[in-house]
Chains A and B, each alone.
Chain A
Amino acid sequence: MDDKHAMHARERSRYVRGFLFALALTLTAFGIGHLYGPQTPYVYLAIGVLGLLQLIVQLAYFLHIDRRRDSREDLDLILFSTMVLLIIILGTVWILGDLHMRMHMGMQL
């Protein structure tokens, strides 16, 4: 019973810590976005990196995805989907951005 109690406390603290990490990352992103404006050089880059970090934090703390053997299948699935996603998004942006440039429409990507 005590063991169960300790386990519950540990799992709960995992969710709470994940929440606090994610909240801190959100606050930082909005904070620098608000203070400096997203158009300032490197500010948007920082916001992007913070977003990526938050994705990782939520995957680890809320969805319990890590490199352990029993979550390997999910990790494979997520990595494969991410690859498909990157091909779709980067491919679209590349090709349409190129088209835009050739049409002299001045897309700033």
Chain B
Amino acid sequence: MRHSDHQTYPGINLGDIDPRHQQRVETAQFGFWVFIMSDLVYFGLMFAIYITMIDAQAGGPGPHELFDLRSLFAQTVLLLTSSMTVGLASLALKYHLGLGRVYLWLVATLLLGFGFLTLEIMDFMNMAAKGGVPQRSGFLSAFYGLVPLHGLHVATGCLWLVILMIQMQVVGVTDQIKSRLMRFGLFWHFLDLIWIGIFTIVYFGGLAYG
């Protein structure tokens, strides 16, 4: 048995993957990190545009009329909790606590993701009802370029998770499935990191300087 406490790879480590596959898994994992970092640069650009556009409200509705901090707080807690549940799912898989537990945490993650998306879409609809639509001002264009981009990532993550659970059901827990779950966990944690930037810069920053 490999010494499984030794974390061969940061991110989520599933431990008892066949050593022959280990190298390949690590390469794939590192490649995924590279993808995530390039995605981060894309988000960074959208953040930069938003920061320069905070003032460009063109007489339209601004952050104080549009942002709902209570809904924002709920979204933040939902996403943060889902970041923990995906970690617990990977631990359940790593320590063979039974597929039931794995599914339990993955379904919890999925539901939290859906809850987040529901609240976010309701927010956008409320904003639109107050005249906060993308074409109203540069500020709103930048807002809708950034925040729904993150939402789109979360929605894609949900779809990915559904597909992954179907694959687990059909082919069982193979090394490949484990390695995919590792990457999914990485992606999901990354989305929570971006969200910290969004509520800090987009929402609080908008309220502070807008």
Contact = CB atoms under 8 A, between A and B. Distances in A.
B208 A54 contact: no
The 4 A-B pairs at the shortest CB distance, nearest first, are namely A51-B200, A71-B10, A38-B208, A92-B48
B168 to A, nearest CB: 20
A84 B54 CA distance: 22
B200 A88 contact: no
Q: How large is the interface on B (under 10, 10 to 19, 20 to 34, 35 or more residues)?
A: 35 or more
25 contacts: A4-B4, A7-B95, A8-B94, A15-B88, A15-B91, A26-B73, A30-B72, A37-B207, A39-B208, A44-B204, A44-B209, A47-B204, A51-B196, A66-B10, A70-B10, A73-B30, A77-B33, A78-B37, A81-B37, A84-B44, A85-B40, A96-B52, A105-B55, A106-B55, A108-B55
Q: Which of B11, B52, B55, B81 has the most CB of A within 10 A?
A: B52
Interface string B177-210: 0000000001001001100110111001101110
Contact of B41 (A38, A51, A88, A97): A88
B9 interface: yes
Given A30-B69, A81-B37, A89 B44 contact: yes
Interface in A88-109: 88-89, 92-93, 96-97, 100, 105-109
Interface residues of A, number: 57
Secondary structure of the A side of the interface? helix
Interface in B37-52: 37-38, 40-41, 44-45, 47-49, 51-52
Contacts of B12: 64
B41 A23 contact: no
A106 B47 CA distance: 21
Contact of B196 (A55, A65, A105): A55
B174 interface: no
Given A38-B207, A39-B207, A64 B7 contact: yes
Contacts of B97: 8
B109 interface: no
A19 B11 contact: no
B34 interface: yes
A15 to B, nearest CB: 4
Contacts of A34: 69
A78 B10 CA distance: 12
B205 A44 contact: yes
B83 A93 contact: no
Given A34-B69, A58-B83, A74 B77 contact: no
Contacts of A54: 196
